[in-house]
Each structure stands twice: as structure tokens, then as C-alpha cells.
Amino acid sequence: MRAGTLVLTLSALLSMAPDAAAQQVGPERTAPDLARGSYDDPEAYPRPVGNAFRAAVAPQVDGRLDDAVWQSAEVLTDFIQSQPNAGALATERTEVRILYTDEAIYIGAMNYDSQAGSYVVQSLERDFPSLSTRDADIFGVTLDTFLDRRDSFIFLINPYGAYRDGQTFNDSRNTDFGFDIPIQVETARLEEGWSVELRIPWAGLRYDGARVEQVFGLNLLRRVRRVNEDSYWAPLERRDPVHRMSKAGTLNGIRGIPGSSNLSLKPYALAADQAGSTLDVSAEGARADFGGELKYGVTPGLTLDLTYNTDFSQVEVDQERVNLTRFPLFFPEQRDFFVENSGSFAFGDQTERNYRAGASLRDFTLFHSRRIGLLDGRPVPIIAGGRLSGRMAGFDVGVLDMRTEGAGEMPGENFAVLRMKREVAPGSDVGAMFIERSPVDQPGAEASRSYGLDANVRLFGGLIVSSYLARTETPAAEGDQTAARFGAAWRDRTWNLAALYRRIGDDFRPEMGFVRRRDIKHIYATVGTHRRPGVSWIQEVAPYVEMHRFNNLRDTLVTREIQGGVRVDLSSGASLNASVARRYELVETPFTVSAGTIPEGGYDFNEASVSFQSSAGRPFSANVRISGGGFYSGDRRSVGGRLRWLVSHQLAVNASADFNRIDLPEGSFTSAVYSGRVKYGFNTRVFLALNVQYNDDLDQLVTYGRLNFIHGPLSDLFLVLSERRHLGGGGGVLERAFTIKATKLLTF
């Protein structure tokens, strides 16, 4: 049976099955009933409990909490700091009220501020980047609608009404900010602070609508950036994010709301013109096209997404980088359809926030969606596809099936993925994954397959154990096609410890994934500590040592690195990092780095680096990195930096440079990448972005510009210009495209 047929059959069976998972009510932690603000450990506080109230009349969403109905709601307040003074009451008061109707849940917050107007706002963009979350004034909400203490919906809002929404999975292990809900947000800037009103339609959330009474996990965040203060309703340690749902509070009082199944359609239409010397003749010239996506809530826990003639012309180009290693670079997924629910398909070297794990998904992931619809960074037409994701009968389920057209000599292909996980204890899960990539309309052509099992266990609060066993079946492969991992890590207020063993076969080739190094036995260990020295201007000092050792499968040492370093976080939000390392590299096959070649042989050399990040909460901020030392048979000096000028809450200007000079016995050479970026928000609905990059290794200039007008909820108009130009030898346009694209969300 073809994998695509198998996946669709499983999708149908899963969609017909009822959600039988029992609602897991996590135990409320208890502690002595002391006054709020009297603990130095935020997590020693009891987990708070609040209530939502049914509104007879929905409040008007205008950013001001002056509707009479808000006065009937319970006030959630007394937020506790995680930084800079862990366990103390927040310096600025926050009052939150929650109401609901049959159509939506309403959250209103009054964020009092003794210096009203001194807000740090990095962007007016919808779904602003994570930097704009960490380094800005923010009010945040997380809702665990199944009360499983693992997953959540998250909403982050700044004082000017820009917001970021998404989902989190596995108690913060995975986040998905490609997920969008047609919410309504308004803010007001007042003499005593700023207020926010948030309307979240029930149709956009997942929950068990069959239950008469809903009980949600809840946490609330207030960030006052000018004093680098984070505080929470359910108190958290500095290392934990607001979506650590195992430590959240509880929201009661929601009764008699309808089921959450829903249907929406998002069609698009576009006109484009393309030219360039590297394009196929068939791709040049003007064209018009259309397509779209359909989203349907099959059950309260399962969502079906279908896409036809998928287009990603508005997605920003990849960042230019120079590779100074003999291994491939990992580029992250940026296309919305694949970013959404990506946490459901994660398998590989997953990491936990604030743990040093020794390897990440940038080293190995069994499924990397950039293998679908992209070839060497260029788009391959996607004909259609579907995804079923969510929860069914106690399992987290992810099913994906996509079909692409042929491109050049590459045939059309079908991509099929099945991912299932089940929680076996609070914070612990086991799972399995199956993947098939198969040519279409090529009789006798063989498919490539990948499959594996994994387990992630959390014990004693701070101990995590992670493991996987995976295998690939690739045509013509004759070597070892297996990969395995076992790792354990411990993190508490003082210690950060980890150990890891990985083994990846010499012919392990996940054709829908990414693996940085094959033919290895990898051992990793680290010991680190986190100290608060009691100095007012220093938040934390974190020294560490770590060791990597890579042998090939013949037990020959190929890489060894021993590194010691320290990170110092300042109370202002600035940070300093310094490290020294001793490395050994065995080069068995000569490889080229920029304009130089590294011959085969064994190399011992030392490296050192130092970097400083100033507080990004100020109008001017900078990150400067200097590193150098040995480089195989020669020497390397590297300087990099990022400058950011926050002209206003509307305009931000960024510039960056990464410069390397390498001296080898065979000769010297330099490589560099320069970039500049300007973003301007006319308001929270109209944005302009311009990004220019120059890669002197390729002598190419990359330009990207986009004007985005949000004309309705999750409905956009894009004007996009992108160009890649070669500057040497008289120059010439390699690729150029101008696109006008419109989308419209239709809900039923």
C-alpha cells in the first residue's frame, strides 16, 4: 500500500474516533500561607486559582475597561517577580479580569505604570519576532484548554496593540508561532498605565465542548522592560517561560459553552513577474495564479488543514551565511503552513529551554519540512496537501501528505508523514514516527523511508531523560542506516548538568530530514552552575565546562573539543559571554572553505571568543562578537556585530556584519556577510520591510522588500520584490520577482 494512501486512511479513521482522553487535572501545589512577596523562590508559592464570569452582554473591545460588565469579574492580581528580584511582588501593579459568552472569552488587563508612556516597544507587526517579545513591554496570556499541564495557546501583546499568538507543546519543549487565531485586540495608553482588551473566539480554540464545565490551566505575564522586570500570576523561576504549563495556575467558572469545531477557508490570488539568468525559461515572465487553504475542526481536539496550489511568495528570504565547516548548514523553516503545528512533528535532537543538551534539531531532525517544495532554496510547485493534527484518544497525532510537481530533472514527488505520541506520566511521553518520500509516475522507482521511536521523561522536577532510535531505508544505501541517542540533563536554581551519547550510521540518510554529521559516535558532558552574587547590577553568573568527543564507527577519534566559559547577565538586560576551547580535528578528505582548502590530516588548535549584548530595551543596542585562534593548519580571526536603532515604536533600523580572515600555509583569504534591515509600521495593519544582504564569498547582493496591508482578520495584501544579483564580471540579475498577493479569511 502506498504511504500516501495509508496516511489518508489513518486520517479518516482518526477523524471518526471520539476524543476519549480523560481530562487530567494536575494537582495544585501547596505551601505555607504566607503573604505574597515573602518567598525568595517564586516556585514555592501555591499555584493560584481564579474564576471567569459569564457576561450577559459582551464588553465592547476598545482597549478601555470602562464597560460596567467588567466590574462583575474577579480581579487577578499580585504578580510575583521572576527577575530581577525573584519572589518579590511586582513593582508595578497588574489587574486582570476574565469574562466569557457563548461566542468568546474576554480578557481585560490594567497594567499600571508609575512612568506611564515610558514603554519599550520594538514593533507594530502582527506576530512580531521573539526579540520584540523579550525586549519590550508585554502583557501575556497562556491557556491550557485541556488542563493536561503540557500544551497551551499563547497571546503576547504590547502597549500599542501589536500581538503575537501561537501554541506550545510538551511543557515548553516545542513552540509554534505560525498558528493564528482571528482574535480581536485593542489597547489604550492612559495616565496611570496601559490597558488591553482581548477577545478570543471559542471557534479558534481547541477544548472538549462535551463537558458542561471547563477548567483551564492559566498563567499571566507582565514585562516592564525599562527595569528588566518579569512577573507572573503563577510565579515562575527566571529560567522558565510563561508557557511552562506544569507550573501554571487554574481558571474555573466556564460553563455551558458550545463545541469548538469550526470551518474556515483562506483563498489567495496573485500576479507575479519573474526574470533572471538562473531561472528556467518556463518560469520567466508574467503569470497569475490562485489557490488556498481550508481548516476544519474535525473533533474538539483534531484539526484538518488542506492546501491547494500552495504559495509562499511573501516569505522572507533566508539569511546569508558563510560556512567555515565541512558540514552542511541548517536553515530554519519560515513558511507559515509548515511552521504551524510543527511541534507535532518534532523528532530528533530536541532540546529543553535553558538546558545545555549537546545537540539540537540543527544537528539531526528526522523530519525537516524544507525538504518539501524547496530545491537548493528555490521553490518547487506544491500541487496540494493535507495535515491532520491534534489530540485523539489520549494520543498527540500528526499526519501530513503533500504532492509536488517535477522541477527540471527532478520528478514529481509524494511526501507522507505519520507522528504519534502519548503521555505516560506528567511531563513524560513516548512516540513513533513514519515517513515516506516517493517519486510519482515513475514505474519501478523506489521510495525512501524513515521511521523511529522516541521517549522523553521528566523526573524530580529538574531531571529530563531523552532518547530515540531511528532508521532510514534509502535506495542504493549499503552501510549503517540507524541512529540512536540517550541523554540526561539536570537543571535547578544552582546546577546545569548533562550527559549525552549519540550514534549515527555512515549511510543514515533521512530524505525528509536533516543530519549534520554521519558516521559518528558522539559523547557529550557538561557541568555548569548559576549564581546570583548579591550585587545589584549583576543578575546571574553562570560558569561552565563542556566536552564533545566524536569517534567514527571504526572508533577513530575525528573531533574533540573541551571548552570552558562563563555567561554574566546584568540587571539592565545586557549580557557578557566568554569562552576558551581546545580542539582536535581529523580531516580524512580535503575540503574547501571559501577560497582555501584544508588538506587531510590531524589538527590540534585553540580558540577563544568573547561577546557582549547591550540592553535591547534602549533606543540603541548592539551585539559584538570577537573570536579567533587556530584554524586547522592556520589561524582565524572573526569579528561580528549587530547594531539596532529603535527610532520609535514604528521605525527600527538594523545593520550587521560577519567578517572572517583565515591564514593557511596555502594562502590567506577573507569572507564576509553584510546586511541592513529597515522595518516601518504605519500602524498595526500596514507594514513596510526592506532587507539588503551582501555575501562577498559569492559576490552576490540579495534584496527583499515587502509591503503588507492587513485588510481583515488574518486577511492580507502583499506587495513583494525580491532580487538576487551577481556583482562580479559585469554583474547580472540571477533571480528577480515582483508579486502582488491577496488573501481573505472566510469563516463558517
Q: Is the model more confident about 400 or about 128?
A: 400
Choosing from 650, 677, 704, the residue where a domain stops is 677
Task: Please state whether the predicted TM-score (pTM) of the whole model is above 0.85.
Answer: yes
How far apart (Å, rounded) are the C-alpha atoms in residues 103 and 501? 51
Going by C-alpha positions, the residue among 243, 383, 378 that lies closest to residue 307 is 383
Assigned domain for 105 exists? yes
As to burial, measured by CB atoms within 10 angstroms (0-12 exposed, 13-18 middle, 19+ buried), residue 172 is buried
Q: Indicate whether 123 and 225 sit together in one domain.
A: yes
Instruction: At 125, list the grid cell.
Output: 507587526
Q: State the Cα–Cα distance between residues 325 and 591, nearest whole angstrom.
A: 9
Residue at 474 is within a domain: no
Q: Is residue 384 part of a domain?
A: no
pLDDT of residue 10: 41
Alpha helix positions (H), 212-330? none
Question: Does residue 699 belong to any structural domain of this protein?
Answer: yes
Res 121: pLDDT: 93
Q: What's the whole-number mean pLDDT along residues 258-274? A: 87
The DSSP secondary-structure symbol of 242 reads: T
Last residue of a domain, one of 617, 652, 677: 677
Summarize pLDDT for 575-591 with one digit per residue, the tens: 999 999 999 999 999 98
Whether residues 55 and 112 fall in one domain: yes
More confident residue, 339 or 609: 609
Q: Looking at the predicted structure, is the pLDDT value of residue 709 above 90?
A: yes
For cell 514516527, what's the residue?
A: 433
Tell me if residue 369 falls in helix, strand or coil.
helix
Q: Are residues 78 and 217 in the same domain?
A: yes
Task: Judge contact between 576 and 612, C-beta under 8 A.
Answer: yes
Asked whether residue 65 is assigned to any structural domain, the reply reads yes
Residues 53 and 175 both lie in one domain: yes
Give yes or no for residue 206 having a pLDDT over 90: no
Q: Please tell me the predicted confidence (pLDDT) of residue 132.
A: 67
Dist CA 178 CA 661 (whole Å): 38
Total number of domains constituting the chain: 3
Identify whether residues 578 and 542 lie together within a single domain.
yes
Confidence (pLDDT) at 482: 97
Q: What is the Cα–Cα distance from 531 to 566, expressed in whole angstroms?
A: 11
Residues 478-536: pLDDT tens digits?
Answer: 899 999 999 999 998 899 999 999 999 999 999 999 999 999 999 999 999 999 888 88
C-alpha 707/C-alpha 272 separation (Å) is 15
Same domain, 663 and 743: no
Same domain assignment for residues 617 and 703: no
15 has a pLDDT exceeding 80: no
Quick count: other Cβ atoms within 10 Å of Cβ 723? Answer: 19
pLDDT at 260: 62
Nearest alpha-carbon partner for 58 in 102, 95, 111, 110:
102
Compute the average pLDDT of residues 399-405.
95
Q: Which three cell numbers stand for residue 723?
A: 532580487
- Write down the pLDDT at residue 131: 66
Average pLDDT along the chain: 89
Domain region containing 731: 266-282+682-748
**Of the residues 677, 692, 708, the one at which a domain ends:** 677
Tell me whether residue 667 is in a domain: yes
Together in a domain, 58 and 188: yes
Task: Please check whether residue 329 lies inside any domain of the structure.
Answer: no
149 shares a domain with 104 = yes
Let me know if residue 656 belongs to a domain. Answer: yes
pLDDT tens, residue by residue, 110-121: 999 999 999 999
Tell me, yes or no, whether 543 and 597 share the same domain: yes
Which of 124-133, 206-215, 222-231, 457-466 has the lowest average pLDDT? 124-133
Residue 4 has pLDDT above 80, yes or no: no
Identify any residues that bridge with 459 across adjacent strands, giving them in sequence order: 463
Beta bridge partners of 187: 196
Let me know whether 540 and 633 are in one domain: yes
Q: Indicate if 270 and 136 belong to the same structural domain.
A: no
Give the pLDDT band (50/70/90) at residue 13.
very low
